Chains A and B, each alone.
Chain A
């Protein structure tokens, strides 16, 4: 196990993401933030908080549960039974720029599921992807618009994002 980002570096990465999103927001109108359960949800809340400070106005933040949209639900050897949880988006996403937030971009399958889930909720003007960690291994033609940190890890390795709210500590490790 190797720590690739400590708490301070995570904070810096989030700051970088906030700046980039804010710069772009000044050109293209106010974005809304939607995090993918469960780590993406926490990151989205942090980002929305910083962004609203930076822009000086409130930024909507919601949570997306993608379980029903996963492509391995009916696969015999998928990783156990995920608990279906609620999607909590208390605002309209029609004609908005949605910043979709996830912890790690790897195969791209979760993002594909999130895109399908989102367009069942409305018709956003645009969807952008923000991730804390980007790594190689894409199986779908998907890339991130905002990247906190690019990790060089091999195909067999697992990148685990731990956050205070869910894991008691801010840390990104490779196993």
Chain B
């Protein structure tokens, strides 16, 4: 827990920085930008220019999934390992599929089926995988900072697929990709992230990506699920969805993560739903073209009503589709950076 807190602390130092996406976006056209990172650990470290570069690259990968041969060759002969110490279906499948579509070989590695259950440490596991010639490690771990630690210890590229309550960069990238696809730009948009903020790495990565690209972010949730440092972040905080819903262009509904909730953060599921659920009634007060997002998996009827999740404002399945393109872009870019970095 101490480690988690210290990472959250470090976030706050950057919190006061103003996003400067307009000027960055303008300089992009002038000079040749070159991607140089062989790891993707978090969006807090990335500039707006780098984030936009990933999003622009992802556009070129979108059509691979729609044509007759759903495969392109840039990672041919490369090995990608999905190193998941926490359960995941969507992210793991998405990374696996993204890697296969780029012609990489994919090795699945889960905690249950591995020597980790026999007591092997993270670094030993990773070094063993590396000795077998793995080129890219996609890691999900319940300890914040695990991907960073890994990136310092091995030569392979490391992509963070979620660490503790710290970051889930590719989820945030697909979120901003989807918003950009629908609205052209994030500049000046008002975005609410609603739910269990304190246990959400998605909320943290979203916040970095969205503010860097010029959006105004409001975190919404009960005080018991709002992180203590929220007031020091470059965001607004609200404890009432009703106050916020009429003003926002995008609402991102987080899943209530029962597996992470300790104690009694709210009196009952029904009460949470009444105050923070995205209902048909609340949607009637929202802007007609509001985008409804959810990182999945959905608890229907809890944080979001079925009619809203399946409604015309919902871009939830676009998010999943775009996730593939974004992950292909990230795999491609880190591999390119590694190819051009002399070891």
Contacts and interface: CB of A to CB of B under 8 A. Distances in A.
Interface string B301-343: 0000000000000000000000000000100110111011010
Interface stretch (B55-63, B224-232, B248-256, B286-294): B55-63
A164 interface: no
A77 to B, nearest CB: 8
A120 B63 CA distance: 12
A86 interface: yes
Interface stretch (B42-50, B64-72, B202-210): B64-72
Interface stretch (A10-18, A65-73, A101-109, A133-141): A65-73
Contact of B62 (A74, A75, A80, A86): A86
B5 to A, nearest CB: 37
Nearest to A70: B74
A81 B74 contact: no
A69 B61 CA distance: 12
B60 A81 contact: no
Most chain A beta-carbon contacts within 10 A, residue among B35, B329, B340:
B340
A58 interface: no
Given A68-B74, A69-B73, A84-B57, A76 B340 contact: yes
A120 B67 contact: yes
A116 B71 CA distance: 11
Interface string A61-103: 0000101110001111010110111110000000000000000
Given A68-B74, A69-B73, A76-B342, A81 B68 contact: no
Contacts of A87: 60, 63
Contacts of B337: 81
A3 interface: no
Contacts of B62: 86
Interface in A115-154: 116-117, 120-122
B32 interface: yes
Contacts of B57: 83-84
Nearest to A92: B68
Given A67-B60, A86-B59, A87-B63, A81 B73 contact: no
Contact of A80 (B32, B59, B72): B32
Contacts of A80: 32, 34
A88 to B, nearest CB: 8
Contact of B340 (A78, A83, A122): A78
A68 B68 contact: no
Contacts of A121: 67-69
Most chain B beta-carbon contacts within 10 A, residue among A65, A80, A84, A117:
A84
Given A65-B60, A69-B72, A116-B73, A84 B332 contact: yes
A84 to B, nearest CB: 4
Nearest to A121: B67
Nearest to B32: A80
A10 B268 CA distance: 75
A159 B342 CA distance: 31
Given A68-B73, A85-B59, A86-B63, A73 B68 contact: no
A74 B339 contact: yes
A146 to B, nearest CB: 27
A84 B61 contact: yes
A91 to B, nearest CB: 12
A85 B62 CA distance: 10
23 contacts: A68-B72, A68-B102, A69-B72, A69-B73, A69-B74, A73-B336, A73-B339, A74-B335, A74-B339, A76-B340, A76-B342, A81-B333, A84-B57, A84-B60, A84-B329, A86-B59, A87-B63, A120-B67, A120-B68, A120-B69, A120-B71, A120-B72, A121-B67
Q: Which 3 A-B pairs have the closest CB atoms?
A: A84-B60, A120-B69, A68-B72
